[in-house]
Amino acid sequence: MAAGIVDLDAIASTARSELDAASDEAELEAWRVTHLGRKGTLTSVLRQLGGLEIEERRRVGSEANVLKGELEAAFEAKRDDLKGQKLAATMLEGQIDVTLPARKKRVGRLHPITQTTREIVDIFVSMGFSVAEGPEVETDYYNFEALLLDRDHPARDMQDTLYIDYERDGQYPFMMRTHTSPNQVRFMEEHKPPIRVVVPGKCYRNEATDPTHEWMITQIEVLAVDEGISLADLKGTLFEFAKRMFGQDRRVRFRCDYFPYVEPGVDMAIDCFICGGDGCRTCHQEGWIEIMGAGMVHPEILSNMGYDAERVTGFAAGMGAERIALLRHGIEDIRRFYQNDLRFLEQF
């Protein structure tokens, strides 16, 4: 290629050499600006054509345009080549070695309280009880009144109730259930004796949380209604439950206690599995650990359900799954169950 006022051969040689040396997109773009840009070497040649004779202008302009086309084609080819190299490198880096062993999948598991709840329910089901569930938002009637706790009954203060912010006639008739006893009432409304039912579910109370109290608990209640049911049946059923849940070597104690809507009421305790009944910090030096409250269903409740209280009797019992889990696993703080610490939960 002949030279005009500028040596086009030198420009072509330099441009091709630098293009071959470009190793990435940034260097390629810098090359384009240097040689094909608005202030590039070829653009400068074309701007100087006005100072040449007509014949020289035509010749140099033609040669410059041919060179520009060749360099643009070389630029596109180089860009495609760099993209191909980048794609090949990416595929090489991301390829999977199928000869390596697969990564072990982490399998989830049931929450310890769910595990405990299911185990408790399974024990009672194996003794002939069925399972009933119900709503967590309850009415005042089912949560209190049907259980002989009218609006002025002092036992309501024991419930620390969370009411729903809905007012009707100056009252707040809806609440988060404070126990699962309302489900027993609902079940008795729809079924006639004989009844054997276990009722699990979440309950809510306005509790100040501490190592032994939470604002939400999982409660399991047990109800049996039939002709001839006595306190001996209650003791036998719960005695069998304690043996299956805590071991055949556990000793069981019943003693009188007060619980709303049962008469008489009892609390049930097992001998401390830490000290064997000698007394320690876990059992507060008593040698016994209370696990549930129970008692005979009040005759008036049976009558309100349409039962003949002169002919049928019943017993009821209630326990917290969290308390059972605390005792079984030797955990000192109930709040740990709901702090979502996988280091704690993965132990179960």
The matching CATH number, chosen from 3.40.30.10, 3.30.930.10, 3.90.1150.10, 1.20.140.10, for 112-345 is 3.30.930.10
Give me the pLDDT at residue 224, please: 95
Domain positions in the chain: 8-94, 112-345
Cα separation of 35 and 29, whole Å? Answer: 10
Q: What is the mean pLDDT of the chain?
A: 84
The two structure tokens encoding residue 126: 């194996």
> What pTM does this model have?
0.66
pLDDT, tens digit, 9 for 90 and up, residues 74-125: 888 888 888 888 877 777 777 777 787 878 887 888 999 999 999 999 999 9
pLDDT, tens digit, 9 for 90 and up, residues 280-302: 766 777 888 888 999 999 998 99
Q: Residue 127: pLDDT above 90?
A: yes
Q: Measured in whole angstroms, how far is the alpha carbon of residue 60 from the centre of its chain?
A: 76
Give me the pLDDT at residue 6, please: 57
Length of the chain: 348
Give me the pLDDT at residue 50, please: 65
